[in-house]
Structure 1
Amino acid sequence: MSRTAILAMAVLVTVAGCAKGEEPQTAAAPSSTAGQQVVKTPTGTAEGPACTLERFGGAAFDLKSATVGFSQSEKEANPFRIAETKSIKDEAAKVGITNLKVTNAQSQFSKQITDVEQLIAQGAKLLVIAPLNSDGWEPVLQQAAAKKVPIITVDRKINAKACTDYLTFIGSDFYEQGKRAADKMIEAVGGKGKVAILLGAPGNNVTTERTNGFKDRVKEKAPGITISFEQTGEFAREKGQQVTEQLIQSNPDINGIYAENDEMALGAVTALKGAGKQPGDIKIVSIDGTRSAVQAIVDGWLHSVIESNPRFGPLAFETAAKFLGGEGIAEKVIISDREYDQANAKDSLGEAY
């Protein structure tokens, strides 16, 4: 496949940080591009050279005819996962990939490892992985390295070395998401009161960074806020409801709830309704940007939502095309996320997923 033909597959989103010495940094996502991922403006100094095909090893191949594997981590009851998988499938079809194999680990990490090992055994030339956990990928990485199979991780990182163990990570700045959520919570409770955190699933960088970003920002800007309750809701609606029911019993005077994803936030809303609470009695800030959560802002139950855009298909395959065409790829491709609140939720509902 010629370089020209490969690059012709590129979509409208521009990959930042592809040249040596560049790394993504802050830029606002305009509302007109809310449905697609917008890469942050490159600036600053990256750690080490960008990853090229020559540096990674292996040979270029025809992406359209190659076997490409996508490993989904979680059950697709979560709108984020539904939108993520749809984006991968839709973009693969759009750019002419004829042999896309999709697996779903059903929220079981051992199954995800087996799924990816089987994709490698089936001859996958490129792997796009949405990791359930950040650790425990050594068996897969060793097998992929032996066959020089580039791995693009999306939405969660794996704890390994870019351009050696995997190609690159594409996703949000989760620490920044936590900080932005804290700003909205500080606004909602007037900088004082008791706040609870519904933690995401343990064992991945998303939970850790969203928690640290939130806590650091609260400590910096709002010493009048006390984080009085923390418990994992495992990124699940039912679990979020259960934990919030416990929260209401143990902390009846809670002022705000920071949910590290929308599903837990919506579970919290169900619990609050069951306890006879009214919209706005307890301020809720969450992260994701699902349509149901944005509707909950319109209805008054959520104060605001920080987006975490799941539409990775265009950017993942554009990144692969650039890599195969000889361009350097940064170890992190960080996207810019919007936010929803009372000022824009109603008009932006159609742009949520």
Structure 2
Amino acid sequence: MKFTMKCALACTTAMLGTAAAAETMTIGITQNNVGVDSYQTTYEQAFIAAAEANPNVEVVVLDAGGDVARQIAQMEDLIQQEVDAIIIWPTNGEAVIPAVRKAAQADIPVIVTNSNIAEQGFEFVASFSGPDNITQGSRSAEIMCDKFKDMGIESEARVVQISGQPGYTTAIERAKGFEDRLPEVCPDVTLVETQPGDWNREKSQQVMEAFLVKYDDIDGVYAGDDNMGVGALNAAKAAGRDGIIFVGATNFAVGYEAMAAGDYWGSIYQSPVDDAEAALKTAIDTLNGVDLPFLNYFDTPKITQDNMGEFTKPVF
């Protein structure tokens, strides 16, 4: 592993002489799309703050703006800069693999954060740091099923799903976790259709508007995050469709507020601050030769109207 050396000459007294200062790690990060939602904005702020608090770390912070080609170019730029490690929040789990491979071939360890790359690229990655998105989807299915059972409609309920950005690993994994777990816990519940909301509240509202026109009977909505879930909720409110159970993942402040108002049933609690700090720590530990598991998950518990008092309101 390569390290960037920053040596400062310290002049004290003739007796003490001179001494060289310590070495610094330079870590580059290319993010998915900071401006798309408040989670990613908060993540970036927390990442920068954590780096500034560590005198042995310098960071190069980049954002791909959701553009795969831009992210690949950013990876190549970080390789040219000869940073010591690269953290990538992938825009697309498959498309970025060649760039990740190129970094590995340059002996620059790559840490994948938040959303993993496709499995065929694992051999080029030092470690993954983030949530277990399949488990999140599974827990969301359990939240929804439990509520249907409380309502006595578990034998007839119909559900629609609003997934995240197509090709994005988090979206794929959360959908898979939900789709696999729901028939295990509520075998008679029907998932009638899935459409992408691209992590965007306005688009998700439009998707839900189309669902409401198409289906007279919708008992539940599962959204890949609360930003999209609240978009769906807004559509249902505008259409006067009451009684729909809304469940999301990644509890945003708007989701927490909607839960407090009694409009939104449940979600998965995930902190972007924990996410960012874990990614930076994983990169530092890797450079320091710490033996890490390939998958470094942090816990993301269930949150519903029943237990939300145990959780602080998200800052994003």
Give the TM-score band, short-chain normalised. 0.7 to 0.9
Bigger helix share: 2
Within the candidate set 273, 278, 283, 1:320 is matched to: 283
Corresponding residue for residue 275 of structure 1: 239
Residue from 93, 99, 117 that aligns with 1:140:
99
Residues 184 and 285, structure 1, Cα contact 8 Å, conserved in 2: yes
| Residue range with higher mean Cα deviation, 203-212 or 167-176 | 203-212
The range that moved more, 85-94 or 207-216, is 207-216
Q: CA deviation at 1:272?
A: 1.2
Match for residue 94 of structure 1 among 47, 50, 53? 53
Counterpart among 276, 295, 312 of residue 332 in structure 1: 295
Measured in 1, the distance between the counterparts of 2:264 and 2:43 equals 23
- 1:343 counterpart = 2:306: yes
* TM-score, normalised by the number of residues in structure 2: 0.86
Larger radius of gyration: 2
- Give, in whole Å, the separation in 1 of the partners of 2:85 and 2:186: 46
Q: Distance in 1 between matches of 2:313 and 2:192?
A: 36
* 8 A Cα contact 1:298 1:346, kept in partner: no
Distance 1:200 1:126 in 2: 28
CA deviation string 1:163-200 (max 9, x = no partner):
x4121111111111111101111122222310001111
Residue 276 of structure 1 and its aligned partner are, at CA, apart by 2.0
**SS of aligned partner of 1:217:** helix
Choose 153-162 or 299-308, whichever is displaced more: 153-162
What are the superposed Cα offsets for residues 201-227 of structure 1, whole Å, 9 maximum, x if unpaired?
Answer: 111322222122212212112122011
1:250 to 208, 214, 223: 214
What's the counterpart of residue 239 of structure 1?
A: 203
CA contact (8 A) 2:258 2:264 kept: yes
Match of 1:73 in 2: 32
Higher relative contact order (CA 8 A, sep 6+): 1
| Residue 103 (str. 1) matches residue 62 (str. 2) | yes
RMSD across aligned positions (CA): 2.0
1:283-327 CA distances to partner (integer Å, 9 max, x unpaired)? Answer: 000000111111110011210011233223322232233223322
Q: 1:242 to 1:93 in 2, by over 3 A?
A: same
Is the CA contact (8 Å cut-off) linking 2:3 and 2:84 kept in structure 1? no
Query: Separation in 1 of the partners of 2:23 and 2:65?
Result: 28
Distance 1:347 1:169 in 2: 29
Q: Describe the SS at the equivalent of 2:189.
A: strand
Report the identity percentage: 26
Q: Is the 8 A contact 2:165 2:197 kept in 1?
A: yes
5+ residue gaps, structure 1: 1-57
Q: 2:181: which partner in 1?
A: 217
SS in 1 for 2:35: coil
- Does 1:292 pair with 2:254? yes
Answer with 179-188 or 116-125: which moved more. Answer: 116-125
Contact residue 90 and residue 313 of structure 1 kept, 8 A: no
Tell me, yes or no, if structure 1 residue 265 matches structure 2 residue 229: yes
- The reply on whether 1:304 has 2:266 as its aligned counterpart is yes
Classify 1:347/1:329 alpha carbon distance in 2 versus 1 (closer, same or farther; 3 Å). closer
Question: If the length of structure 1 is used for normalisation, what is the TM-score?
Answer: 0.77
C-alpha displacement of 1:346: 4.6
Is this contact kept in 2: 1:61–1:324, CA < 8 A?
Answer: no
**Conserved 8 A contact 1:289-1:307:** yes
CA contact (8 A) 1:289 1:352 kept: no
3-state SS, counterpart of residue 294 of structure 1: helix
Aligned positions of 1:129-168 closer than 5 A? 129-159=88-118, 160-162=120-122, 164-168=123-127
Is this contact kept in 1: 2:140–2:302, CA < 8 A?
A: no
Count the aligned residue pairs.
293
Q: Is the 8 A contact 2:130 2:278 kept in 1?
A: no
**How many angstroms apart in 1 are the aligned matches of 2:128 and 2:58?**
23
SS in 1 for 2:124: coil
- Alpha-carbon shift at residue 59 of structure 1 (Å): 4.4
Select which of 134, 138, 151 maps to 1:175.
134
In structure 2, list runs of 5 or more residues that go unmatched.
6-21
